[in-house]
Structure 1
Amino acid sequence: MRPPPAPSTRIFLLARSAPLAPEYAPAAHSGDGGYPAYYHRVWTVLSGLGYRVTTSNHFRDLYTQAQSIDLVFSLYNCAPFDNPEIFVASTCEFLHLPHIGAKPNIRALAEDKWLSKNFARAIGMPVTEGAIFARPQDMKTEPPFPGPYFIKSRFGAASEGVSEQSMQEDWAGAKRVAGALFERGASVLVEQYAEGLDVTVPVLGGATPILLGLVHPRSDRLGAIITEELKRDDPLGYELFDAGKKTMSFFDDAQKLWSAAGPMDYLRLDYRYDPKTGKRVFLEFNLCCHIGRSGAICLAASRWGLSQEDVLGHVIEYSLGRQARQVETRRWAL
């Protein structure tokens, strides 16, 4: 889908380090790595497509500017309160504001790695064994599967808290790493470590999901894992990946996920994949994934001759069409 020649849509772009009026210069925020430049580029592209784009780095502006917003595009994933990822989607529903992504309940499913793992298993997708732990004392009992283990936060975005220490051979090491996460206020998900490398499946929304291909995020870390540092600074980038005859298995999974949880505007399905055995295991799906020029979605789209402008224009127009009923409801509610 493409924007009309002179789109009238008023987009509200929300991000922690969004470029702000009047200069719209890339903003600086401690610990944000390359994200300020990414947000600035998204603003530049949306403005270049002709949309009227207002930017903000404050949630409260959703309330004060609701009357002048046609579509909320939030890239604000990390905020200083628990489970912030679904806040914007829920607020937009309360305000009858169309928003990029998916309904809040689907966003909540995606942000809970334990629920999404069990959801995926229920619809026939392969997953790793896992167990959740809310308190340090819960870890006195080992999970019903052997190591090696991979320890991460149950909730959260951008591989927060993931490092090479997340891989542990035994339960003593797993408890030590989990203890550091508990100190940060996190609930913990312990999974059976899956050999191989990370592979992701970028998808755009459509009458049927648009499956763009397979992408491998490069890693020079132990186990070829993607750490918080790599996700934040992205020094190694991504590359297109060919799984040969196994590719259709990934695409079948995406179709299953879409049938059960769609529609969604854009997303990524993340896996561990072992090229030696052809075994894949689903890890999570992401509804607010990187949609910059150097990210997995735009790289996969470029394979089909699509630019970042094409991708963002499609996402905006598909989302507006998907939520047309909500737009009409808003005329009467506000």
Structure 2
Amino acid sequence: MRFPTEPKRTRILYLARFAPDEPVLAQKPDTHAAGYSQYHFNLFTELQGIGYDVRSSSKPYAAWMAGGNVDFVFSLLNRMPMRNPEIHVPSVCEYQHLPHLGAPPNIRALAEDKFLSKLAFRALGLPVAEGRAYAPGQELTPPDFTGPYFVKDRFGAASEGIAADSLQDSWQGTIPVIQRFHAQGREALVERYCPGVDVTVPVIGHAPYLVLGHVAPQSDEVGGILTESLKVDDHLGNRLVSLDAATAAAVEEDVATLWRNLGPIDYFRVDYRWNPATGTRTVLEINICCYFGRHGALALAGSQWGFSRRDLLAHVVEYSLARQHTTHSHYRWMI
């Protein structure tokens, strides 16, 4: 694990929707979803607790003024009223040659597009669920695979828009769910439903990377799906699971394949559906800059190694700084 030797010398700009805005560095009221304000404030104080010199803002334009004033941008500001908002801050940082959390913008863009990433994963030989994207205004003809069907936001995060009716046995039942997404201005992704349970695999960049473990988010919904209400309330939490030896080895190879082709990445999760009865695994998506809460999959899996949330946070920052140390050295400004 990497730990800072002189953290006070590292100036961090912390960005998040509920990040404290200077000069009032206090927790904000929660006006969105339960727990987000507390979560964002806790990460701010955790970074301070490590010893970093932390500035904080909830405003995306703070990234534009960061060049020359900070050494690193730790951004969780992923939900903004624009298409693909996850790419905004990394792109601004790249423009300023400023190290930032996560991965390069092109890799972030691929990960956030759950349809294009599915095509990329298939090309890399990973097992993925059949899927088809439907944009607003597109004719809703059936996909070339049979149901049951599962409908989600093509660019969604935290299971946004997923409800109990996202799981449908028939195409006729699927159409109104797609239309609901379209009415919200969202593109829908229809996948073939995979029986089993959700398993997520947290990974941190290391030497070259470290798979922390296998975690199952719990669900009491029909089909074991993870809905938006479950993610917001999270009353069931996560638990560590043991995969059969063959599946565990296959997951290790999946991560190695992703790392060779998409890495290095500071930290991420690979989300699966896994059928314990058959050992079948299906890659759903990769999540970069995923949830860093004390009770989340990352912290839970890290605890097996004796890592606290603070340990993981410090390591990720230091790894990211080292990863990007010479990233921009070959660029020259052209006027």
Q: Please confirm whether the aligned pair reaches a TM-score higher than 0.5, indicating the same fold.
A: yes
Can you list the C-alpha shifts for 1:177-235, whole angstroms capped at 9, x where unaligned?
Answer: 00000011111110000001100000001231111010011111121111112222322
Report the structure, 1 or 2, having the larger helix content.
1
Alpha-carbon shift at residue 332 of structure 1 (Å): 8.8
Letter in structure 1 aligned against 2:20: P
SS of structure 1 residue aligned to 2:133: strand
Alpha-carbon shift at residue 137 of structure 1 (Å): 3.9
Can you list the C-alpha shifts for 1:132-160, whole angstroms capped at 9, x where unaligned?
Answer: 11134421x21111111001111121111
TM normalised by structure 1 equals: 0.95
Can you list the C-alpha shifts for 1:65-103, whole angstroms capped at 9, x where unaligned?
Answer: 332111111111211112111111111111211100000
Higher relative contact order (CA 8 A, sep 6+): 1
Alignment of structure 1 residues 82-101 onto 2, 5 Å: 82-101=83-102
4+ residue runs over 6 A deviation: 329-333
CA distance in 1, matches of 2:319, 2:178: 41
* Conserved 8 A contact 1:19-1:36: no
Paired residues in the alignment total: 332
Letter in structure 2 aligned against 1:282: V
CA distance in 1, matches of 2:309, 2:331: 30
1:194 aligned residue: 194
CA distance in 1, matches of 2:235, 2:54: 29
1:135 aligned residue: 136
Alpha-carbon shift at residue 23 of structure 1 (Å): 4.3
* Conserved 8 A contact 2:7-2:53: no
Can you list the C-alpha shifts for 1:282-313, whole angstroms capped at 9, x where unaligned?
Answer: 00001120012111011100001000111001
* Conserved 8 A contact 1:12-1:73: yes
**Is 2:135 aligned against 1:145?**
no
**Is 2:213 aligned against 1:213?**
yes
SS of structure 1 residue aligned to 2:109: helix
**Is 2:239 aligned against 1:231?**
no
CA distance in 2, matches of 1:9, 1:155: 33
Alpha-carbon shift at residue 249 of structure 1 (Å): 1.3
Identity of aligned residues (%): 48
Letter in structure 2 aligned against 1:212: L
**Is 2:151 aligned against 1:159?**
no
1:174 aligned residue: 174
CA distance in 1, matches of 2:332, 2:5: 22
Superposition RMSD in Å: 1.7
CA distance in 2, matches of 1:301, 1:19: 27
1:73 aligned residue: 74
Change (3 A) 1:113 1:330: same
CA distance in 2, matches of 1:48, 1:327: 30
